[in-house]
Structure 1
Amino acid sequence: MGGKIWSEFQCTKDGALLKFSVRNCTEERMEDATELFFDYLLKDEALQKISGVAFSEDARNECKPYLIGLLRQKTNHMVVCVEETTGKIVGASCMALSTKHERDIPTAMLQTNEVKILFKILSGMPDLYNIGKTYTVDKWYSGLGIVVHPDYRGLGVGSALVRSRRHICKELGVPLTTAWMTSLGTQKAAARDGWETPFEIDSREFAKHFNATPSDGIAPTFKVMVAKP
């Protein structure tokens, strides 16, 4: 598999030594990466649970074309974690190049109530904390999500994907990377990599703010986390 390599690491799983690389996602592997997001982000990520998307097949299917369109924006940067022996994509991270002049998230023609709630949350999150109004930068990378295949969680894949974001910013001259970290795993990985937390909110208060239903099994708090190259 091609694509610039940002890092390589290895670990032991079930007695076998596995080697991984974090690299840019090439066009021919983009479908594999987006399928990973569809299969696991929409079922596991906290905002999907709060909105109810995680628990509705109809809602997830409605989200799929929006998700594919979001991930395939030309100004995005997608990296994948590849298990080198098999070539399998076991994790992925996507960032969007953002500016102070963001466009509104379209909400017309939404069908399921769960997707309507999700889009309401996504549209309202900048009102809780706005990077463009806080930092004196003209552009930055906003995290669109990190996903790891369940069979490869706990092996350092998520941490490697988080670290890649800072490396990408440094090489491409982007002064900042930021993300709403909604899982304990990514929060801990970002903290280990030196990310700062300028904003934090109780996850149940977050749900209440959007008139959504708090969900069990999510992080106690959601954090806006920021890193500089």
Structure 2
Amino acid sequence: MFNRKCVILMVVITCVIWAIIDAAPNKKENTEKSKGKNTIDSASQNEYETFSVKNKKGKVIAEYSIRDIPELRCLDVIKLFNDYYLRDEPLNQLLGNVNNKDSFTDKWIVFLAQGENLGCFDTKTNELVGVLFGFAMEKQEKKPQKKSNENPIISSIFNFDVCDYFKVEKYMSISALVVHPNHRKRGIAEHLLSNTREICKKLKLPLVSGVFTSDGSNKAAQKVGFNVTLGTRYDKLAAKYEDLRYLKGAKDKEINRRTIRYPY
């Protein structure tokens, strides 16, 4: 526990230093741009898209911005994943991981430090309401497979060799996606997923691939062009494998690896 707290404290201190360095040269500019908004975000962050959401009467009820996640928002990201991803993502939900947040915090910190991540922000309040964790992955030399206790079907989906199957040298891997429950059903997941195109364009990556475990994420991915590469149903897994009986309680239907190609 002490070591974990030290790591978090170091990350926060580092975030503050980075943000101060980024903001210092453009203090006047940042002040002008941030009038009426939360001022902790650095002006150096890339903004990829702004979109509005309307109600049935056509009235705009919210406006969002998809952009890079500023260093100072690291604790917001951790809270979003610990509070809602662990609670609502089907596999974590069934395993009760929401009660084991401490062991996941370091994982989110690594994702933040090493990943190609996208955030969705409420433009009025600057609240972080959605996050997509992604990584640029390169082709790995094939090694003899070690014997594992992991279920073969689950392993085949999560450990799928994307580079070998699609004959590419590198790609973007989606590791996790979360949207705050107060902002769901507004297309945020779709906009986060569609803007992976901007990351691929920047890094010259030909495709994006990820495992989608909920009905909501599968629907969002399908809408923006992610096709099923490999997948199965939770009820079939629960019926066939003794070690996956817990999946019988899944409220969602399918777990799919989905992929989309880009011309880069």
TM-score by length of 1: 0.80
Q: Does the Cα contact within 8 Å between 1:10 and 1:18 map onto a contact in 2?
A: yes
Aligned length: 210
Unmatched segments (≥5 aa) in structure 2 = 1-40, 144-148
> Does 1:6 pair with 2:48?
yes
Between the aligned partners of 1:168 and 1:126, the Cα distance in structure 2 is 23
Give the letter for the 1:11 counterpart.
V
Aligned to 1:97: 136
Alpha-carbon distance, 1:170 to partner: 2.2
Alpha-carbon distance, 1:65 to partner: 2.1
Between the aligned partners of 1:25 and 1:209, the Cα distance in structure 2 is 40
Alpha-carbon distance, 1:202 to partner: 1.2
Aligned to 1:160: 191
Alpha-carbon distance, 1:16 to partner: 6.0
Between the aligned partners of 1:227 and 1:135, the Cα distance in structure 2 is 11
Aligned to 1:65: 106
Alpha-carbon distance, 1:168 to partner: 1.7
Aligned to 1:177: 208
Aligned to 1:223: 256
Of stretches 162-171 and 175-184 in structure 1, the one that deviates more from structure 2 is: 162-171
Aligned counterparts, 1:68-217, within 5 A = 68-69=109-110, 71-74=111-114, 76-101=115-140, 120=150, 124-125=155-156, 129-206=160-237, 209=241, 211-212=243-244, 213-217=246-250
Q: Go from structure 1 to structure 2 and tell me whether the alpha carbon gap of 1:141 and 1:102 turns closer, same or farther (over 3 Å shift).
A: farther
Aligned to 2:13: none
Between the aligned partners of 1:121 and 1:5, the Cα distance in structure 2 is 40
Alpha-carbon distance, 1:102 to partner: 8.4
Aligned match for 2:70, one of 16, 22, 26: 26
1 or 2, which has the higher strand percentage? 1
Q: What percent identity do the matched residue pairs reach?
A: 23
Aligned to 1:112: none
CA displacement 1:184-219 (0-9 Å, x = unmatched): 122111111111112121123445658131153532
SS of 2:230's equivalent? strand
Q: Does the Cα contact within 8 Å between 1:182 and 1:222 map onto a contact in 2?
A: yes
Between the aligned partners of 2:123 and 2:158, the Cα distance in structure 1 is 42
Q: Go from structure 1 to structure 2 and tell me whether the alpha carbon gap of 1:146 and 1:128 turns closer, same or farther (over 3 Å shift).
A: closer
Q: Go from structure 1 to structure 2 and tell me whether the alpha carbon gap of 1:51 and 1:205 turns closer, same or farther (over 3 Å shift).
A: farther
Structure having the higher Rg: 2
Q: Go from structure 1 to structure 2 and tell me whether the alpha carbon gap of 1:202 and 1:210 turns closer, same or farther (over 3 Å shift).
A: same
Between the aligned partners of 1:222 and 1:214, the Cα distance in structure 2 is 11
SS of 2:225's equivalent? coil
Q: Go from structure 1 to structure 2 and tell me whether the alpha carbon gap of 1:211 and 1:62 turns closer, same or farther (over 3 Å shift).
A: same
Give the letter for the 1:146 counterpart.
L
Q: Does the Cα contact within 8 Å between 1:140 and 1:175 map onto a contact in 2?
A: yes
Q: Go from structure 1 to structure 2 and tell me whether the alpha carbon gap of 1:6 and 1:67 turns closer, same or farther (over 3 Å shift).
A: same
Q: Go from structure 1 to structure 2 and tell me whether the alpha carbon gap of 1:36 and 1:93 turns closer, same or farther (over 3 Å shift).
A: same
Alpha-carbon distance, 1:135 to partner: 1.4
1 or 2, which has the higher helix percentage? 2
Give the letter for the 2:168 counterpart.
V
Alpha-carbon distance, 1:4 to partner: 0.8
SS of 2:243's equivalent? coil
Aligned to 1:109: none
Q: Does the Cα contact within 8 Å between 1:166 and 1:228 map onto a contact in 2?
A: no
Q: Does the Cα contact within 8 Å between 2:157 and 2:256 map onto a contact in 1?
A: no
